[in-house]
Structure formats: structure tokens, C-alpha cells
Amino acid sequence: MSDDASASVLAARSLTLGYGSDPVVHGVDLEIGAGEFTVVVGPNGCGKSTLLKAFGRVNRPMSGQVMLHGRDLRTRRTKAVARELALLPQSPVVPEGVTVRSLVERGRFAHHTLLRQWSPDDERAIGEALDLTGTTDLAEVPVASLSGGQRQRAWVAMVLAQDTGVLLLDEPTTYLDIAHQYDLLQLFARLHRGGRTVVAVLHDLAQAARFATRLVMMDGGRVVADGTPQEVVTSELVGDVFGLACDVVPDPRTGTPLVIPHEEPVAG
Amino acid sequence: MATQTTEPASPARSTRPGGVRVALMFGLGTAALAAAVLLSLVMGARVTPPGEVIGALTGAGDEFTATVVESRYPRTVLGIMAGAALALAGTLMQGITRNPLADPGLLGVNAGAAAAVVTVTAVVGPTSVTGTVWAALPGAVLAGAAAYIVGTRGGEGGMVRLILAGAVISAVLNAYVQAVALSMPDSFDSYRYWVVGSLAGRGFDVFWAALPVILAGLLIALCVMGGLNGLALGRDAAVSLGVSTVWVQGGGLVAATLLAAGATAAVGPIAFVGLAVPHIVRAMVGVDFRLQVPFALVVGPTLLLVADVVGRTLLRPTELMVGVVTAFVGAPVLLYAIRRMRSTA
Amino acid sequence: MSRQSTLPSRSRSAPPAPETEHRPPRGVMVLRLGRALALPIRRRSLVVGVLIAVVVLVCAAATLTLGNLGVPLSQLPSVLTGGGEATDRFVLSRLRGPRLIVAVGVGAALGIAGALFQSVTRNPLGSPDVIGLAAGAGSGAAVAALLLPGVLPVPVGALLGAGLAIGLVALSTGTGLRHPGRLIVAGIGVAAMAQAFTHFVVAVLARDEATSLATYLNGSLTARDWEHAAVIWGALALSLPVLVYLAGPIRLGEMGDEISETLGVPAKSTRTAAILMSVVLSAAAVSVAGPIAFVALTAPQIARRLSGAGGPSLVLSAAVGALLLVCADLVVQQVPVGEGLPVGIVTMGLGGIYLGHLLIREWRKGSL
């Protein structure tokens, strides 16, 4: 495999996505390189979650392709894809009576065969996932009885147990208090440093700018900006895309851009 | 302006058609009902020309025609009553449970009536159709009341309990009905003739027996229909709007039970009128219950009478029971409507 | 809730204890056969399964030995191995033996059908009857009884009716069997038509014919022979490979399409396959025993509670279904009040009790 192909883990090729007959994402081209922590931002309804789900092959493209390691997702068995790529969707359904451990075990499905449904790898991956997310002590507790923050960690643990090189996260911090939000984002940052490719959809521009190595800003189903946080989070772009008049100042601790809205929230 | 502010959150506001259109549609509906009534008097084993029917009605026709037409009075009157009662009961049930598939049978009314019918026949032997009505009426009311009491025991229960209670009572009573019917031939006969649902072979005594129950239900329904608009937004929103949810839900369910019990006792269980009419009415006038109720009272009888006329004429001289006709007309409409459902998972 | 208690600090947490590695978690055993086979089996499920099997065997022995024609218990082993008296051998091979085997098979098929259907529709009160299968079978039986008496056997009519009803439902959804919400609405419509038709036929038939039809419509195991047993067990055997394949995917499917797709399960085709298998097994059960109420609904729920694993268990559902039906049939055969009644009436009563239990649970929930 050439350097070029291996560098691009996920790629959208003139990807058009939608529900029914109305396109939500229009002909997007986007390459996600290996080892990047990409965060997709944009106003509500801009198509960022739809794009992420297409990367996770939950949405079928209306036209165009999604490539994983240079091969069209649709041509591959979903189980094979699941060994390379994991998606954490928004508000998944918690089955009744399932414990955290049993939930995390379900993450191993793609590594099983009909006859071989248990291996030392399973135990290692599950143990690591529980440990990394700090849910080891909760392993025997039913997921339904957990608090919001604990439950989100259990879901993250399930996705980690899947043991994939690529993690797709759809607004993983929604409904969490600010401490839990940063805790989770730091976990993702550590996973990224450990070699995983991470693509996340986030609402908070400050968080996005702080943790991402690359920011993609979408508006109206198209990519309008793509680059480092410093390049993308500018007062012009935020004013154009979000309709929010603001100043952008460096974060006093990290130097990453911070958005300070003006008193009058009017822009063009 | 005052009325605007008293019900600011009525979901009907945006979809409610203009007053003129509503009045026009109501006029059309009433005309359709009148036509259905006339049709019900005209059609039968022998078709009586409309002119002769009107002559008989005004006392100008010959005696034979008068007798024939008079023989069609009871089933016509019963059709109006049962159609209106079932339609209104369905409207109430769907409004209260906020489940568009709810129908009046949900509370075990049908099973209660059936259980009473087989029990009475088993104890006192074969009875006339009128006899089964006198049994079915208290049976249906009692089963509905039992479901209601069990389902709402311990205060704020929500709809899950109520529907479960109806299902429990239906299951137990149905097992009983089948056991009795299959061991006692007379009970089996009265059950199988009753359960198919028919307007035929019933006299005015059946009408008079069921009328008080249905009128009581109607009265309560008229009292609660305004509150149903608030309830449509959910319990919490309704409470914050000042709707007495206990009274509206409780009263509405009692009304639905009485209406369904009266209709089912009189003519047997009839499928789809209670389920379908609310949908037709919503398509006509939107979701405001203060409009849905009067329209249901017109559309329900029209539908049932037309179905009865079709049943009388389709296989002449054999008569198809109205319960069979409503099912075979209602179901295809439902199946067609599914294709319009949003394709969400 | 304080942050410290919910999130034990990872920086302080020790690395995973080495002795727990390579070992399955508590309460799970792994069935191994060389390197090729390694299946985790929960200890509790195994114990429950064995217990149910024992109870089924006890009920089966009771079915064979009780009553006037019963084979004496002491004779049972020798009769089973082909010895004993001629009457006893007749009772075993012609009367009670096939009936028992049919009851076990039908109960198991209904239990599996219900487990599949409830799992993919995520509706604890679901079964293929919700989408019109039983009503369709009833009307098929009614056609056979009314229009073609003697030409079309009633069970074949029931099978055709069930097939027609499900076909109609699948056609009218516009999305085949893929979309549970639409299936259920279409099922209401088709079931209403089928039931109205059946009621009509029962009303116009002569009393004797109507009675025998009504008995069939309740679901009965009277006078079943080895042919019936072959049909239901054949259907079970044929569906086994698909069921083994589906067991894992349907468990993940309960978490929603997005999660199950991302874990590697093709969600839509899994659902279609599960509903299809559910329909096939129920149809086989209907054709040999008529529409038996509530077993498909209750067995998976009871199995779920017994296993405590928070997921569907096809094996336990089958076992519970078999147990329910064998017990119900024992009641019909031996309890004086129930004698001669179709077994479906007893299961309907059992269903009522089960729903009552759910209701009491709702009460408790409300009062806590």
C-alpha cells in the first residue's frame, strides 16, 4: 500500500446524503488522515451528524462514496468494517436489565465467529475498555440504573472494546455536566495520542478548538472551512456560519482560540 | 381576543380550517347522514322507491309499504345510535390515550358483553336477541368499570396500566366465554350470532334499553371535550395549562366505556367504526376536539348505515352482517393509509 | 452526585489485575472443543435450562401415566422400549405419545417465534399474532370448513390462510417485513378482516360444524398423530441453522440499528430474517395445533426473567414454551372441569394471569 493511501483512513468522495429525497449533505469531499483528531462543527442542521453516520455506514449515500482504507464501505461486509471502525451514536437504546460488563461484551461481536465466541483477546479488550473509562467498579451494575455521565462512559467502553483503529463520536458530551464533558474529551485525547484516529461531532467551539488537531466547519450541507483550530475559528467565519458577531481570543491556558460573543448577537 | 388567550397552546390553531369551511363540511356531513337514513329505509330484500318511503313516512302511502318501511325503522335508528356512540367512544379513547390505534374495545367492553351473553344463555337457556341485550349491557359496563378501577388503582397510573388492565380482563373473560360456549350448545349459538355484529332482527326495545347508557356517555363526553385539547399536549403541559387531567381523563374514559358498552350490547362488536371515524374526522377538521366530537356524531352513523345497506344488498337475498362489512371496508382503507406513514424507524 | 464517586480517577486506578485475565467473567463457563470451538455459556442459563427440562420430563411422565388410559408408571420404561402390554403400547404410540411430542414441539416453536418477534420489534407484548397470523389461520380454516369441506383439510387451510394474511401484511406495508411499526398497523387491518370473516362463517354454519371449527380456532391438541409431530419437528430442525446464526445479532439489535450496525450486525436484514423465521415457526405451529393463544407472548418474557441476562434467549424461550403447552395440555386432559376443552382456552387463561402479573408490577413501580 502506498504512503498516500495509508495516510487517508476515511474519505468521502462527492458524497451526497439525505433522508427520503431531500439531500442534507451536498457533494462533500473530505479526507481523514491516520492519527488525526478531527472535530466537525457547524450550526444545527448543517449535516455534520449525517456525515458522521455515513462514515459509520449507518446512512447509505444517495450518491458518491465513503472509502475506508481506500475501499468503498458498501462493498465490504459490515462485520469486517466493524473491526476497523466504531461509531458512538447519540442517545442509544439501553436494553432492559443489561449490566455494564454485558454491554461492553457486546462490543466484541465483530471479533467472534459462529463457533468461537470467546477468546483471551475478548477478556483483555473488555478489561482495558472498563479500565480506561473508569467503569471497572460498575461492571456488574445495570446500565439503566446509572447516572448520565456513568452511562455515557459505559457506552464509550463498549465502543472501545470493539478495538478499532477509528473512532467516530456523535456529540459524545451532550447531556453531561461540564466536568464530565472535559473528563470524556481528555479520554478521547489520550486514545488519540495512543494512535487511534478520532472523528467527533461537537457543539462547543472552545472544546473543539482545544482538543482537535484538525477542525472541519460545515454549513448548509457543505464543508466551508477545514484546517487547524486557529485557521478555522475566526471571527469572520463564526460570524458568517453561525450568524454570531464575536471576537476570537487565545485561551489563556492553551492558546487555542476562544469565541467571545458581542452583546448584540446580530451579524450578516 | 379573550378566547385566544384562554387556550393559547391549542394545537388546533395552526391546522384549524376556517369557520365557513367547517360549517359547509358539517352541512355536507349532515346531508350525507340524511341520505344514508333514506337509503336505509329504501333498501332491503325489496327496494322501496324513495317516493313511496316518503309517502309512508308522511302517512300517505298504502298500508303494505308502510309496514315494510316501518320494519326498517328499528335497524336504522339503531344504526344511527351505535354509529354515533362507537365513533365518539373511539375519538375519546384516541384522545385520552394519545394512541391513534386505540379503539373502544381496549377496555374489555366486548369481552364483558360476550361473557354476559354466554352466561345468561347457559343459566336460563336460549333467549331472544333482545334478551342478549339485557345481559350484554351490564356485562359490558361492568367489564369496562373493572378495567377502569383496576387500571387506575393507586392514583396516577398512566395509560400502560389501563391498557394492561383491559387486556387482562379481555383475556380472562375470553377464555371463560370460549369454555362456556364450547361446552353449552345454546350459549354457543347465542354467542356466535351476537359476536358477528349485526343491526338485523332487533326491535325498538333494544334501542330503548341502550339509549340511557349512551346518553349518559354523550353528556359526559360533551363536558370533557374542551379539556382534551390540553391533554393532547401531554399530561405535564395540560396541568400547567390549568386542565384538570384527572377529571378529563377519568370522565373521558367513563364516557367512552358507557358509549361503547351501549353500542356493543345493542348490535354486537363492530370493528373499525371506533378506530376509523376519528381518523376521517381529523382529516376533515383537524385536531380540535370541540370540532371532532360533533363531526364524529355525524360521520359515525353515516358510515355504519351505509355499511348496513351494503350488507343488505350485496348478497341479496342473503344478508351480510354489518360487522363483516365494516371490517372489509375499514381494513383496506387502513392498509392504504400505511403507505403514507413516515418511513422513520 | 459527586464527581469522585461516579468517576474513579483513572490516574490512580491500578492496572487490571493479572489473575483475572484470560478468564471469562463470573457466572460464565466456556464450552471448548480444541481451538475451533469456544462458546461462553452463562451458568445461570444452564441451570435454569436443565431445571425446565426436568420439569418438562415430569409433566411428560404425568401426561403418559395419569387417567384411565394412562400407562402405569412402573410399566413406562418397558413400554417405552417396546415391551409391555399391547394396550399400553397403543396408548403410547397412537394416543398420548404423538400428542405429547406435538405439544413439546409446538410449545418450543411458539416460544422461539415469540422471542424473535419481541426482540426485533422491541415490544414485550408482541408475537406474530399481532401481525395477523392467527386471525389469518382462523379464516383459512373457516374457508376450508365452509366452502371446501372434505376437499381441503382444515390444517392446510389454516396454513394457507396464515400465509395469505402475512403476505397481505407484507405487501401493504410497502417495505416488506422490515418495518415493525407498519407491520403492526397492517396486522390490525388484516386481522380485523380475517376475524370478521371467521365470525361470519361460524355464524352461518350448522351448529355441529360450527362447534368443531370453533374448537379448532381455539387451538387444540386432541387426536394429533405422528404426521403432525413430523411437521412441527421438521420445521424446528430446518430452522435451527438460521436460529443459531441469528442468536447473536438479535441480541445486539435490541440496542437500535445504529449501535448494532456499528458493532457489525446488518440490522435490516437481521430483522427481516428474524420476523420471517418467527412467521415460519408460528405457521408450522398453527397448522398442527391451530392458533394457540399467548404462548408466543409469555414464554420469551418468562425466559428473560429466569435467565436474568437482559437479552432474548432462544433456547430458554423454547424450553419455557414447551413447558407451558405441556402443562396446559395436562390440565385439559386430566382436570375434570377442563376435560375435552381445546388447550388454547387454558393458555388464554394463563395469558390473562401473566398480563395480570405485569399489571401488578406496574402498580409496584407506581407506588415506589
Amino acid at C112: I
Cell of A70: 481506500
Q: Are residues A148 and A189 in the same domain?
A: no
- Separation of alpha carbons C285 and A236, rounded Å: 69
| C-alpha of C326 from chain center | 12
Q: Is C362 on the interface with B (CB under 8 A)?
A: yes
Cell of C76: 413406562
Cell of C212: 368443531
pLDDT, residue A264, reads 67
Q: Which comes out higher in pLDDT, residue A8 or B16? A: A8
User: Which residues of chain C make contact with B193, given a CB cutoff of 8 A?
Assistant: 203
Beta carbons of C23 and A123 less than 8 Å apart: yes
- Separation of alpha carbons A202 and A205, rounded Å: 7
Q: Are residues A68 and A147 in the same domain?
A: no
pLDDT, residue C4, reads 38
The last residue of a domain, from among A133, A163, A193: A163
Q: Are residues A142 and A159 in the same domain?
A: yes
- Per-residue pLDDT band for C338 (boundaries 50, 70, 90) equals low
Contact A61, A17 (CB under 8 A): yes
Mean pLDDT along residues B232-261: 81
* Structural domain harbouring B22: 8-54+289-335
Q: Are residues B246 and B190 in the same domain?
A: yes
Provide CB contacts within 8 A for C48, sequence distance 6+. C306, C307, C316
Residue B286 has pLDDT above 70, yes or no: yes
CA-closest candidate to residue A72, choices A142, A14, A154: A14
Instruction: Choose the mutation target among A10, A50, A52, A58 for the interface with C, i.e. most C CBs under 10 Å.
Output: A58
Beta carbons of A97 and C3 less than 8 Å apart: no
Taking only the tens place, the pLDDT of each residue in A115-139 is: 777 788 888 889 999 998 888 998 8
Cell of B282: 381529523
pLDDT, residue B163, reads 79
Backbone angles phi, psi at C301, to 5 degrees: -70, -45
Residue B49 has pLDDT above 90, yes or no: no
User: Which residues of chain A make contact with C125, given a CB cutoff of 8 A?
Assistant: none
Q: Which of C172, C352, C367 sits opposite B154 (nearest CB)?
A: C367
Exposed/middle/buried for A38, CB within 10 Å: 0-12, 13-18, 19+? buried
Look up the CATH number of the domain holding residue A235: 3.40.50.300
Residue B128 half-sphere exposure toward CB, CA atoms < 13 A: 8
Q: Are residues A76 and A33 in the same domain?
A: yes
Asked whether residue A263 is domain-assigned, the answer is no
Which residues, in sequence order, are bridge partners of residue A222?
A219
Contact C146, C199 (CB under 8 A): no
Asked whether residue A142 is domain-assigned, the answer is yes
Beta carbons of C262 and A93 less than 8 Å apart: no
Cell of C292: 394457540
Residue C107 has pLDDT above 90, yes or no: yes
Q: Are residues B202 and B322 in the same domain?
A: no
- Among chain B residues, the shortest Cα distance to C357 is held by B168
Beta carbons of B341 and C346 less than 8 Å apart: no
Q: Are residues A118 and A185 in the same domain?
A: no
Exposed/middle/buried for C114, CB within 10 Å: 0-12, 13-18, 19+? buried
Asked whether residue B146 is domain-assigned, the answer is yes
- Among chain B residues, the shortest Cα distance to C189 is held by B331
Output the average pLDDT for chain B. 81
Taking only the tens place, the pLDDT of each residue in B249-280 is: 888 888 999 999 999 888 888 888 888 888 88
User: Which residues of chain B make contact with C174, given a CB cutoff of 8 A?
Assistant: 338-339
Indicate the number of domains in chain A.
2
By residue count, chain C amounts to: 368
- Separation of alpha carbons B74 and B33, rounded Å: 16
Q: Are residues A77 and A12 in the same domain?
A: yes
Beta carbons of C310 and A132 less than 8 Å apart: no
By residue count, chain A amounts to: 268
By DSSP bridging, strand A8-19 and strand A71-72 are unpaired
Backbone angles phi, psi at C198, to 5 degrees: -60, -45
Residue B54 has pLDDT above 60, yes or no: yes
Q: Is C86 on the interface with A (CB under 8 A)?
A: no
User: Which residues of chain A make contact with C24, given a CB cutoff of 8 A?
Assistant: 118, 123
Output the average pLDDT for chain C. 81
Q: Count CB atoms within 10 A of the CB of residue B31.
A: 12
Q: Which of B101, B189, B272 sits opposite C185 (nearest CB)?
A: B101
CA-closest candidate to residue A42, choices A241, A199, A234, A237: A241
Asked whether residue B275 is domain-assigned, the answer is no
Provide CB contacts within 8 A for C104, sequence distance 6+. C56, C60, C322, C325, C326
The last residue of a domain, from among A163, A184, A201: A163
Q: Count CB atoms within 10 A of the CB of residue B345.
A: 12
Q: Is B183 on the interface with C (CB under 8 A)?
A: yes
Exposed/middle/buried for C23, CB within 10 Å: 0-12, 13-18, 19+? exposed
* Structural domain harbouring A175: 1-84+164-242
- Separation of alpha carbons C174 and B336, rounded Å: 10
Q: Are residues B104 and B42 in the same domain?
A: no
C326-342 burial, b at 16+ Cβ within 10 Å, e below that, comes to bbbbbbbbeeeebeebb
Q: Which of C168, C210, C342 sits opposite B192 (nearest CB)?
A: C210
Asked whether residue A268 is domain-assigned, the answer is no
Which residues, in sequence order, are bridge partners of residue A40?
A201, A216
- Separation of alpha carbons A137 and B259, rounded Å: 57
Q: Is C175 on the interface with A (CB under 8 A)?
A: no
pLDDT, residue B81, reads 94
Name residues 59-98 of chain B within 8 A of C (Cβ): none
Asked whether residue B84 is domain-assigned, the answer is no
Give the position of cell 449490566: A99
The last residue of a domain, from among A116, A145, A163: A163
Beta carbons of C199 and B197 less than 8 Å apart: yes
Mean pLDDT along residues C331-353: 82
3-state class (DSSP) for residue B342? coil
Beta carbons of C199 and B196 less than 8 Å apart: yes
Asked whether residue B342 is domain-assigned, the answer is no
Q: Are residues A157 and A170 in the same domain?
A: no
H or E element that contains A64: strand A63-68
- Separation of alpha carbons A233 and A216, rounded Å: 10
Look up the CATH number of the domain holding residue B240: 1.10.3470.10
Mean pLDDT along residues B27-44: 88
Residue B13 has pLDDT above 70, yes or no: no
Mean pLDDT along residues C24-48: 74
H or E element that contains A18: strand A8-19
Name residues 194-223 of chain B within 8 A of C (Cβ): 195-197
Contact B91, B217 (CB under 8 A): no
Give yes or no for a cis peptide into B317 (omega within 30° of 0).
yes
Asked whether residue A257 is domain-assigned, the answer is no
3-state class (DSSP) for residue B172? helix
3-state class (DSSP) for residue B288? coil
Asked whether residue B15 is domain-assigned, the answer is yes
Q: Which comes out higher in pLDDT, residue C160 or C69? A: C160
Contact A181, A153 (CB under 8 A): no
Domain spans, chain C: 44-71+83-350
Q: Are residues A110 and A221 in the same domain?
A: no
By DSSP bridging, strand A71-72 and strand A214-219 are unpaired
Contact C192, C137 (CB under 8 A): no
Taking only the tens place, the pLDDT of each residue in B98-120 is: 777 788 777 888 889 989 888 88
CA-closest candidate to residue B143, choices B178, B118, B167: B167
Q: Are residues B16 and B158 in the same domain?
A: no
Asked whether residue B191 is domain-assigned, the answer is yes
Asked whether residue B276 is domain-assigned, the answer is no
Contact C319, C236 (CB under 8 A): no
Q: Are residues A154 and A189 in the same domain?
A: no
Q: Are residues B259 and B204 in the same domain?
A: yes
Q: Which comes out higher in pLDDT, residue B304 or A113? A: B304
pLDDT, residue C254, reads 82
Instruction: Choose the mutation target among B178, B187, B339 for the interface with C, i.e. most C CBs under 10 Å.
Output: B178
User: Which residues of chain C make contact with A112, given a CB cutoff of 8 A?
Assistant: 248
Q: Note the pTM of the prediction, 2 decimals.
A: 0.81
Q: Closest Cα of chain B to C142: distance in Å?
A: 14
Amino acid at C166: I
Beta carbons of A123 and C256 less than 8 Å apart: no
Q: Is B126 on the interface with C (CB under 8 A)?
A: no
CA-closest candidate to residue C274, choices C304, C295, C251: C251
Q: What is the CATH number of domain C44-71+83-350?
A: 1.10.3470.10
pLDDT, residue B156, reads 54
Residue C73 has pLDDT above 50, yes or no: yes
| C-alpha of C211 from chain center | 27
Q: Is C336 on the interface with B (CB under 8 A)?
A: no
Q: Are residues B200 and B172 in the same domain?
A: yes
Q: Which of B157, B164, B323 sits opposite C358 (nearest CB)?
A: B164
Q: Are residues B136 and B215 in the same domain?
A: yes
Q: Closest Cα of chain C to B50: distance in Å?
A: 31
Q: Are residues A129 and A104 in the same domain?
A: yes
Q: Which comes out higher in pLDDT, residue A187 or B155? A: A187
Q: Which of A87, A96, A119 sits opposite C262 (nearest CB)?
A: A87
- Among chain A residues, the shortest Cα distance to C22 is held by A120
- Separation of alpha carbons A211 and B229, rounded Å: 48
Q: Are residues B208 and B160 in the same domain?
A: yes
pLDDT, residue A213, reads 93
- Separation of alpha carbons A139 and B114, rounded Å: 52
How far are the Cα atoms of B257, C65, C131, C188, C213 from residue C136, in angstroms, in the given order?
29, 37, 9, 11, 14
- Per-residue pLDDT band for C24 (boundaries 50, 70, 90) equals low
CA-closest candidate to residue A200, choices A170, A176, A174, A237: A170
Mean pLDDT along residues B240-252: 80
Q: Closest Cα of chain C to A19: distance in Å?
A: 15
Which residues, in sequence order, are bridge partners of residue A218?
A223
- Among chain C residues, the shortest Cα distance to B163 is held by C359
- Separation of alpha carbons C133 and C273, rounded Å: 17
Cell of C131: 401481525
3-state class (DSSP) for residue B271? coil
Q: Is C276 on the interface with B (CB under 8 A)?
A: no
Residue C366 has pLDDT above 60, yes or no: no
CA-closest candidate to residue B214, choices B300, B125, B320: B300
